[in-house]
Structure 1
Amino acid sequence: MLRPAVRSAIVMIAVAAAGLTMGEALVTDAGRIALLVLGLAAIGCVPWRYRYPWAFVLGSILVGNVSLIATYLPLVGVFVIATRRRTTETVLVLVLSVAAAAANIYRGIPDLQEMLLLLGGAAALLTSSAVGGLLAGNRRAMVDDLRERLARAEAEQVERDEQARAAERRRIAGEMHDRLGHRLSLLSVHAGALVLRTDLSAETVRESAQVLRDTTHRAMEDLRTIVQVLHEPPCPDAVEPEDTEDLTAVEQLVSEARAAGADVSLRSTALLLVSPPGRPLAGVAYRVVREGLTNAARHSPGAAVEIVLDGRPGRDLTVTVHSGCTGEGPAPQGAGTGLVGLRERVETLTGGTLAHGPLPDGYRLRAVLPWTKEKDA
């Protein structure tokens, strides 16, 4: 779309070029030169036609009837008023323009037949300009309305995303709160046993101390997570997620999907390791797979789904869910809050990243989760 300055320049050149055909540039007397300058000055006001519409249209009617080079300037004024989409104003300006043209033609053309012919042509041009202005005004109003709706939809989407993130943070905080309470209760039990039992062997004491050390380490990890996400108190109505200890829950999830008739394949190197990932990686990986299967069942029912879990300690655990196409057209668009909450969980609990998007042969959901011994101790 052309910029306003460019459009104004084109209009000015078109009006001046059309006016030159009336013979204004051929005169040499002072009066005609003054009218030529007046007409050029009126044409120079075109860039301000929308800022001062009534001043512009009245000036264009007056100048257009005395300066030949500005003869076609009233067409621009009628167009500008018509874009305001006010019927009374448009009709009034159109009548004034036709009346001014009739007076000018009557003054310069004595022959009645020729006068009526020129008047009919002028009225047709002015009416066409008014109709074009109305159409342009309607189009501009539609574009403005669409832009407003788009801005409102984007704002609502941002608000929904923020609400989804906040809800996920509350669920994570509630989950971590309960887990921390469990850790502390274990600490209390083992510490109480050491205090009350005086007949324990040195080996038993060392084993109990090791349990206390491991439990304390996990409690500190949970406490750090709570500090990161606990912006608001836990939501009492939120449904608490499963406490997944390892990746066997992923195998169970795939088995359930197959039992329901889904075409799901699972390839995993992480499941074959002696020390597979524990919490929180296992829980996050489980949620990624569950979200991928849910979206595949919702948007591409019957399509093949491939799940890949790859990684080892000291590197990243990569969880990929690739669903194929069914060939039944584009998938329906959802609210996307599930992916927003999943991203919040991936980034908050593991420091990982989540990516998703369409591919030529389907849709891919991919999470990269840092896998360190300290995080899964």
Structure 2
Amino acid sequence: MSAILMIAVTAAGLSIGETREITGPVQILQLVAGAAAIVTIPWRYRYPRAFGLVAVLSANVSPLTSFLPLVGVFVVATRRRVLETVLITVLAVVGAAVNFAAIPDWQTMWAMLLGATTLLVTSVTAGLFTGTRRAMVDDLRERLTRAEVDRALRDEQARIAERRRIAGEMHDRLGHRLSLLSVHAGALALRTDLSAETVRESAQVLRDTTHRAMEDLRTIVQVLHDPPCDEIEDTEDLTAVEALVSEARAAGADVSLRSTALLMVAPPGRPLAGVAYRVVREGLTNAARHSPGAPVEVVLDGRPGRDLTVTVTSGCTGDLPAPEGAGTGLVSLRERVETLTGGTLAHGPLPSGYRLRAALPWRKESA
């Protein structure tokens, strides 16, 4: 683009008769000065003010650069700075008036000055429009860059949240299975008076529980490989709670389940029932891990239009010290309770054990 502009300015300057008339060293110096000014065109945007000043002044020195001020005012106008644009335009018009002052016919002089002024104003207008367009393009590019950065940040936050969710789900699912394995294996290790039949039955329970744990692990691994979707949903219902309690009993836990008859006649829908299931599972897991062998009571109560309360109360045993847990299960459960249902989760020690209680708003339309 710079080369084309240099050729155009040079050709336009050579079309003036004064340029073609070289009668002495003065004309040669004028041509050299004009050529030097034209050579600065490639640096017009790097040094716009200096280039504009050189372009305007060179037109009064060399006829070869008679049209270079058009380029100078255009470049300065693209910066969209009012004072600079007005000053360089006035200077260019004054320079043209000085050049045309030698014309003896004043009508011709004013006509040529008017034409030059029109060209300069047109060049300034084009420069302002070009500068505005460039500013808009730069703004759009900046917005696009920011949007891409924001999208990348949101994607990364979504991935982090998803990893946390999967980690919490893995903790909930496998933690419950492994706690049952630990309880039953501990019973086998401490009891030396068990019959061969009892040992076989216990081994079968361990095998079944291990198989279910492997199925849960396989499900979560499949989630990590498949495209993101609603892979792990709260699809369990209150029937799954009964199965969960039965499974804990089969592993040797002393678990009782109490629920109002209304829950069996008109059970809550999903995801409310799924959250209730996870509260019971977390309670049974913690009871098996921290108080193995202690009695556990699961109570479900509520009706549409009020809260569905889920309470898991476990006793305490002095046989084994309670291990320290990471607490991620309760954190994940609290997020699920508050986010999916708008409910509350409370947990803490009792004089004779530990209690986990969730109050889940049960709207009539979700029944």
* TM-score where L is the length of structure 1: 0.54
Is 1:89 aligned to 2:84, yes or no? yes
8 A Cα contact 2:70 2:119, kept in partner: yes
Can you give the 5+ residue segments of structure 2 that lack an aligned partner in the other structure?
224-231, 237-367
Q: 2:75 aligns with which of 73, 80, 100?
A: 80
Is 1:145 aligned to 2:139, yes or no? yes
Aligned to 2:101: 106
Change (3 A) 1:123 1:67: same
Q: 2:25 aligns with which of 22, 25, 30?
A: 30
Q: Distance in 1 between matches of 2:201 and 2:149?
A: 56
Change (3 A) 1:223 1:62: same
Q: Distance in 2 between matches of 1:76 and 1:199?
A: 102
Paired residue total: 226
8 A Cα contact 2:59 2:95, kept in partner: no
Aligned to 2:45: 50
Is 1:164 aligned to 2:158, yes or no? yes
- Aligned pairs for 1:253-292 (under 5 A) are none
Letter in 1 for 2:143: R
Q: What are the superposed Cα offsets for residues 150-174 of structure 1, whole Å, 9 maximum, x if unpaired?
A: 1111111111111111111111111
Report the alpha carbon displacement of residue 48 of structure 1 after superposing the two structures with TM: 1.0
Kindly, what percent of the aligned residue pairs are identical?
64
- Aligned pairs for 1:273-312 (under 5 A) are none
Report the alpha carbon displacement of residue 194 of structure 1 after superposing the two structures with TM: 3.3
Report the alpha carbon displacement of residue 133 of structure 1 after superposing the two structures with TM: 0.6
Letter in 1 for 2:233: P
- Aligned pairs for 1:66-77 (under 5 A) are 66-77=61-72
Report the alpha carbon displacement of residue 241 of structure 1 after superposing the two structures with TM: 3.3
Aligned to 2:206: 212
**RMSD, aligned CA:** 3.0
8 A Cα contact 2:16 2:63, kept in partner: yes
Q: Distance in 2 between matches of 1:221 and 1:169?
A: 20
Q: 1:179 aligns with which of 168, 173, 179?
A: 173
8 A Cα contact 1:57 1:74, kept in partner: yes
Q: Distance in 1 between matches of 2:219 and 2:11?
A: 74
Can you give the 5+ residue segments of structure 1 that lack an aligned partner in the other structure?
1-6, 230-239, 245-377
Q: Distance in 1 between matches of 2:207 and 2:100?
A: 104
Q: Distance in 2 between matches of 1:199 and 1:62?
A: 110
Aligned to 2:320: none
- Aligned pairs for 1:338-357 (under 5 A) are none
Q: What are the superposed Cα offsets for residues 125-181 of structure 1, whole Å, 9 maximum, x if unpaired?
A: 111011111111111111111111111111111111111111111111111111122
The residue matched to 2:233 in structure 1 has which SS? Answer: coil
Runs of 4+ deviating beyond 4 Å: 216-227
Q: What are the superposed Cα offsets for residues 330-353 of structure 1, whole Å, 9 maximum, x if unpaired?
A: xxxxxxxxxxxxxxxxxxxxxxxx
Change (3 A) 1:212 1:48: same
8 A Cα contact 2:34 2:58, kept in partner: yes
8 A Cα contact 2:177 2:209, kept in partner: yes
Q: Distance in 1 between matches of 2:75 and 2:235?
A: 67
Q: 1:20 aligns with which of 14, 17, 20?
A: 14
Report the alpha carbon displacement of residue 30 of structure 1 after superposing the two structures with TM: 2.4
Aligned to 1:242: 234
From the CA coordinates, give the structure whose radius of gyration is larger: 2
The residue matched to 2:101 in structure 1 has which SS? Answer: helix
8 A Cα contact 1:175 1:241, kept in partner: no
